[in-house]
Chains A and B, each alone.
Chain A
Amino acid sequence: MNHWPFIIAAYGIVAASMALLIVISWRTMRRAERAVEDMRR
């Protein structure tokens, strides 16, 4: 059995999940901190 499709699937799922988690966390943080900055002005 060729193992590489399994390896690529495992790495792909982990990379996509982490990228999504980082991007969503970053955007949520920026939006919330911008709201605080806007509130101060």
Chain B
Amino acid sequence: MPALHALANPTRFLSIARPLTPVLLWVGLVLLAIGAWAGLTQTPPDYLQGESVRILYVHVPSAWLGMGGWSGIAIASLMLLVWRHPLAAIAARAVALPGAIFAALCLITGSIWGRPTWGTWWEWDGRLTSMLLLFFLYLAWIGLSRADAERGGDGRIPAIFGLAGTALLPVIRYSVVWWRTLHQGPSITVSGSSIDWAILWPLWLTLAGFSLVFGAIVLMRMRAMLAEARVEARMRRMAA
């Protein structure tokens, strides 16, 4: 926890974020390229799904980041409400847009995967519907956060919404257990994976690659927001 408090200092945060941004971005892109190449050319087709199983390598990381993004908003919201960290509101705003985009990518790639596998683009199945709800939660959070900033709010209302929205995450996680319809059950759990290693291994590369690139995007957005805030504060001082 002391490390988190130290990072909440914008100057200290920037001294770490500046060198870290290109490292995360380039390492992430290299891992992504290797993982995607391996997923497209080096793994065998699935005995049941055929070649379409290759969509796994972009669909699962998108789902992971769609849900991970909201977890990031919730953690930042908690830090804002409890410790009033100056960077917490900026971190939540920086995560929201990429999180929403990855939630949308999860829905789109899942729909594309569903057509050759299930014979349909969409089904009102528990997993698909709860993921769609998460995407709408992101849109609502972004709107609320902008409205709060425009009226000079302290970010507490979006933070409460961010924390309340975490109730959806276990619903998404367990939707395939509670409502067994079209979407397959959990393939990767804490105890192991039901996917054969010959198909699974590139997924770890794309998961790591997507996560690092996501981290780089969040850092870039936070740096931009901090710089914009400094310019705005200076302009206000000059006008006063």
Residues of A within 8 A of B (CB): 1, 3-4, 6-7, 9-11, 13-14, 17-18, 21-22, 25-26, 28-29, 31-33, 35-36, 39
Contacts and interface: CB of A to CB of B under 8 A. Distances in A.
A29 B155 CA distance: 22
Contact of B36 (A9, A11, A17, A29): A11
Contacts, number: 79
Given A18-B213, A36-B231, A10 B58 contact: yes
Given A14-B109, A17-B101, 4 more contacts: A6-B55, A25-B217, A26-B220, A29-B221
A11 B206 CA distance: 12
A6 B220 contact: no
Contact of A22 (B25, B58, B112, B227): B25
Interface of B: 25, 36, 40, 50-52, 54-55, 58-59, 62, 98, 101, 105, 108-109, 112-113, 115-116, 213, 216-217, 220-221, 223-225, 227-228, 230-231, 234
A25 B220 CA distance: 6
Contacts of B113: 6, 10
Nearest to A35: B231
Nearest to B39: A11
Nearest to A33: B227
B223 A32 contact: yes
Given A11-B58, A13-B109, A39-B231, A21 B217 contact: yes
A5 B54 CA distance: 12
A22 B213 contact: yes
